[in-house]
Amino acid sequence: MKNNGKIDNTGKIENKMRSAGKLKRELPLIIMLIPSVILVLIYSYGSMVGTVIAFQKFNIAKGLFGSEWIGLVNFRNLFSMPNIWPIIRNTVVIALGKMIGGILVPVIFALMLNEVSKGKLKKAFQTMVYLPNFLSWVILASIFTDILSPSTGIVNHFLGFLGVEPIFFLGSTTWFPITMIITDIWKVFGFGSIIYLAALTGIDQNLYEASQIDGAGRIKQTIYVTLPGILSTIILMSVLSMGNILNGGFDQIYNMYNASVYETGDILDTFVFRLGIENAQYALSTAANLFKSGVSLVFVTASYGLAYKFAGYRIF
């Protein structure tokens, strides 16, 4: 019994020494993390106090804690506005288009790039499609405005060469949402393809050899080996993107839209910006943003549950 007690005490001492050593090694990383944690607490959690404005008849002179409490009146006023439902529809349509294209295009590109045998050429293509991810929409908006111009844009010059009438991509209610979806996919698909290329490297090469013995060509190998091998990654990325169902992309649309395309191009983020910043209707804009955050929270929670069920993904 005494020997067992000594062994137990020795084990506890060793565990404490390991913990102390681990803490000492990781202390510089913890110190480096502190400024980021402070910023998150201030800007992500501290700012949540302002959501109380959604339930007030907010008055700047009276301040956050002196304004009159009116409950859900702002939400009733918000949903009685004639343009709120078209705005929600626009947000969902644009966001869904970006989500679907943001999954299909990277998968297809990763499959095509995986067939390239020359390493340098493969890296060159990967770098080229990844670069737009680093450009802001302020820069890209100017570029696309020039490229898609109905009078001087290169796209319409090419369409004119084919005998097609010029298209006002950024001024047409029909073409504007399509343009937003396509340009967003062009910008981000290079980043998404990296995830799928990484998944492709994890497929057992013996499966390809076995399929070749069975007489499968490249197309059948892709269908029966490659796609099933990355299916869990595709499901995971699809499910996790559900949280962005009401994120149409403020940076992109704000820099590229105009009053003539509000009918199909105005989304919740731009609507909130105009209400709060341009029209100083702080209570209504807070209510709209809180509604969007609530819906996103539901979808994020559901998406993580589905990700665990279908792909075995867990945060903790």
pLDDT score for 177 = 92
- The domain segmentation of the chain, as residue ranges, is 2-69, 78-311
Q: What is the pLDDT of residues 280-293, one digit of tens each?
A: 888 888 898 888 88
Q: For 67, which DSSP code?
A: S
Q: How confident is the model at residue 1 (pLDDT cuts 50, 70, 90)?
A: very low
Helix/strand/coil percent split, the chain, to 5: 80, 0, 20
User: Which percentage of the chain shows pLDDT scores above 90?
Assistant: 15
Give the sign of the dihedral formed by CA 300, CA 303, CA 305, CA 311. Answer: negative
Q: How confident is the model at residue 245 (pLDDT cuts 50, 70, 90)?
A: confident
Give the sign of the dihedral formed by CA 267, CA 273, CA 279, CA 280. Answer: positive
pLDDT score for 17 = 66
Pick the CATH number of 78-311 from 3.40.50.10300, 3.40.50.2000, 2.70.240.10, 1.10.3720.10: 1.10.3720.10
Q: What is the pLDDT of residues 98-126, one digit of tens each?
A: 989 988 999 998 888 888 777 788 788 88
pLDDT score for 234 = 85
pLDDT score for 208 = 81
Residue type, 268: L
Quote the strand ranges of the chain, DSSP E: 56-57, 68-69
Q: Give me Rg for the CA atoms of the chain.
A: 26
DSSP for 50-63, please give it. GGGGGGEE--TTT-
pTM (predicted TM-score): 0.81
Of the ranges 147-151, 204-208, 285-289, which one carries the lowest mean pLDDT score? 204-208
The pair of three-digit structure tokens given for residue 101, joined into one six-digit string:
């294209």
